[in-house]
Amino acid sequence: MSQMKYNFLAKILLLGEYRVGKSSMVLRYVEDRFPGDYIATIGANFLVKSVNLLFQGKEYKCGLQIWDIGGHARSSEVGRVFFHGVSGAILVYDLTRKATLEKIPLWIERLKQSSPESRLYLVGNKNDLVEERQTTKEEGQEVKDQLNMESFFETSAKTGDHIQETFEDLARLLVESHPRGNGEK
């Protein structure tokens, strides 16, 4: 991804426990598809998405490097390299497994060791599984507020509900944080 091609570059990390839907969210956003079958992410995968955003009367062509980190990275030294230079992070939990929400502070702690200035979004995924929910929207909002995160969304990678809005809202926040549009901090 050439920097000359974009007004703004951002490294976005998706973090969370196993099977919360991080890979599915990335594939839904970048390729508009849902994989269906679970395949564990070993290490990390990344995809690039170009987004055009309007800010202060100027259109920015944004290059989003979206990194999907395997659920093992929180307790592994392997993940350390992926935590450097992160502009924004989407911390994902599974609405049908309350324990995944309870682990979010541990992911933030790990990320802040390497990228203390990164902007944080909280996402409860799998909102299509209404009958299986173990957390409420209010509980997610409360965690977001307690941890001073920027925003909170409930999504479904399966249906696409609020996937695009989540990523593009974060991209817009990152551009607004760096109005020169060059990705420098």
- Residue 111, pLDDT score: 93
Q: What is the pLDDT of residues 55-71, one digit of tens each?
A: 888 888 999 999 988 76
User: What's the pTM value of the predicted model, to 2 decimals?
Assistant: 0.88
More confident residue, 4 or 14: 14
Outline where the chain has alpha helix (H). Answer: 22-31, 98-102, 104-114, 137-146, 163-177
Q: What is the pLDDT of residues 18-52, one digit of tens each?
A: 999 999 999 999 999 998 765 656 556 788 999 99
Buried/exposed code over 46-75 (b: 16+ C-beta within 10 A; e: otherwise): beebebebebeeeebebbbbbbbbbbebbe
- Residue 81, pLDDT score: 74
For residues 49 and 109, give the distance between their C-alpha atoms in angstroms, rounded to a whole number.
27
Model confidence at 3: pLDDT above 70: no
For residues 23 and 45, give the distance between their C-alpha atoms in angstroms, rounded to a whole number.
8
What value does the mean pLDDT take over residues 114-136? Answer: 97
1 pLDDT band, cuts 50/70/90, is: very low
74 pLDDT band, cuts 50/70/90, is: low
The maximal CA–CA distance of the chain, rounded, in angstroms, is 48
- Residue 151, pLDDT score: 98
- Please identify which residue in the block is written with the tokens 């000359």: 4
Domains and CATH numbers, the chain: 3-177 (3.40.50.300)
